[in-house]
Amino acid sequence: MNHLGSIPDRSADARTLRLSSDREGMTLGARLLREGRLVAFPTETVYGLGADATNASAVAGIFEAKERPRFNPLIAHVPNLAAARCEGVFDEVAVALAEAFWPGPLTVVVPASDGGTVCDLARAGLASVALRVPGSALARDLLAAVGRPVAAPSANRSGRLSPTSAAHVLADLDGRIAAVIDGGSAPVGLESTVVACLGGRPRLLRPGGVTRDALERVLGDVVDGPDDPVVAAPVAPGLLASHYAPRARVRLEAVSVERGEAVLLFGAERPAGLSDAVAWEDLSRSGDLVEAAAGLFAALRRLDATGADVIAVGPIPRTGLGEAINNRLHRAAAAR
């Protein structure tokens, strides 16, 4: 289910296609997304930088293009509630929210369903998934044509303003993504409201396009929760974060291996003592940080499943996506 998918050919993105929102443009945009390429598209809130949410390599490309220093979990966009229910477990509260505000600028965070296809990287390794049915008919048409959930943060470089037009997107990302679909200006201009429905009371994780008043009309009182899924973890004990923190202790910058350790490597170098490891994996033999990001959570999970007490992690460069990879590994090492 969760698979690495094809490694997208990013050299092909040297020129970003400007697609119109006619049938031809939408068909090509959907095809590029299915091929694992990055396509920015309009929603009613802001332009999103889309990637096939089931393809970890494609999702890693989002972090690379945005130069995001952390792997935060991304919203998976779907065309309707039925598609959302394939990916997440909806309790009564989540259903009420979806019925009241979808399609529209609301995102619900719900437990990921067993049969869900949104990859680990898009969920940042969490057991929950953020889902949204956008209000823009154009966006829903695109999502229906893709036929898979599409992960999409705002289509800007990290630390810059969210784009509300195709021109804004190109100002930040021209030459870094395959295409942008021009659908005019985004009417809401502000990201979606994010509400966690993880059992217990719903929590407002991020204010946005759906106002608190509107939420309260459906939910009664709304409790605020932190806009950080790691901090938010206690909201749903047992649900979150199993591989922000593997069961095994994580030892970083390992240049040699102790007997019985499981080992996570990057690049061609092989540390001393590797033959004493219970298991080892290489995130990318060729030293490709995008490939490494795509496989990181899955590799940690497999190494943890060996039952080793320690996962020793070799050095990983801090350039490009390496910063986010190291950030996640430090969190994993610091946990408990």
Please report, as ranges, the residues that interact with Mg ion according to CB under 5 A: 154
Report DSSP state, residue 89. Answer: -
Backbone phi and psi for residue 215, each to the nearest 5 degrees, phi listed first: -60, -45
Least gap, CB of 35 to Mg ion (angstroms): 25
- Of the candidate spans 96-104, 128-136, 293-301, 317-325, the one that interacts with ligand TXA by CB under 6 A turns out to be 128-136
Regarding 229 and contact with ligand TXA (CB under 6 A), the answer is: yes
Exactly one of 16, 21, 55, 128 binds ligand TXA (CB under 6 A); which one? 128
Nearer to Mg ion, 46 or 97 (CB): 46
- Supply the DSSP string of 223-243, one letter for each residue: EE--S-TTTTGGGSTTTS-TT
C-alpha distances in Å from residue 109, one per residue of 89, 98, 126: 10, 11, 11
Given a contact cutoff of 8 angstroms between Cβ atoms, the answer to whether 17 and 28 are in contact is yes
State which residue has the least CB distance to ligand TXA: 48
Exactly one of 83, 108, 109, 166 binds ligand TXA (CB under 6 A); which one? 109
Q: Which of the residues 195 through 214 are near ligand TXA (CB under 6 A)?
A: 196, 205-206
Least gap, CB of 191 to Mg ion (angstroms): 6
279's tokens: 């298991």
Exactly one of 52, 120, 182, 191 binds ligand TXA (CB under 6 A); which one? 191
C-alpha distances in Å from residue 43, one per residue of 40, 79, 116, 253, 319: 10, 12, 23, 42, 32
Question: 């999502």: which residue's tokens?
Answer: 143
Cα 169 to the center of its chain, rounded Å: 19
Count other Cβ atoms within 10 Å, centred on residue 85.
Answer: 17
Regarding 249 and contact with ligand TXA (CB under 6 A), the answer is: no
Regarding 136 and contact with ligand TXA (CB under 6 A), the answer is: no
Residue 72 binding result from ligand TXA, Mg ion, none, given CB thresholds of 5 to 8 Å by partner type: ligand TXA
Given a contact cutoff of 8 angstroms between Cβ atoms, the answer to whether 130 and 34 are in contact is no
Regarding 321 and contact with ligand TXA (CB under 6 A), the answer is: no
Least gap, CB of 76 to ligand TXA (angstroms): 8
- Of the candidate spans 7-15, 86-94, 215-223, 225-233, the one that interacts with ligand TXA by CB under 6 A turns out to be 225-233
Cα 82 to the center of its chain, rounded Å: 21
Nearer to Mg ion, 191 or 261 (CB): 191
Regarding 311 and contact with ligand TXA (CB under 6 A), the answer is: no
- Of the candidate spans 38-46, 91-99, 215-223, 308-316, the one that interacts with ligand TXA by CB under 6 A turns out to be 38-46
Regarding 157 and contact with ligand TXA (CB under 6 A), the answer is: no
C-alpha distances in Å from residue 276, one per residue of 255, 271, 304: 14, 11, 17
Q: Please give the Cα distance from 74 to 69 (Å, whole number).
A: 14
In the complex, the residues that contact ligand TXA under the rule CB under 6 A are 43, 45-46, 48, 72-75, 105, 107, 109, 123, 126, 128-130, 132, 152-154, 191-192, 194, 196, 205-206, 227, 229, 232
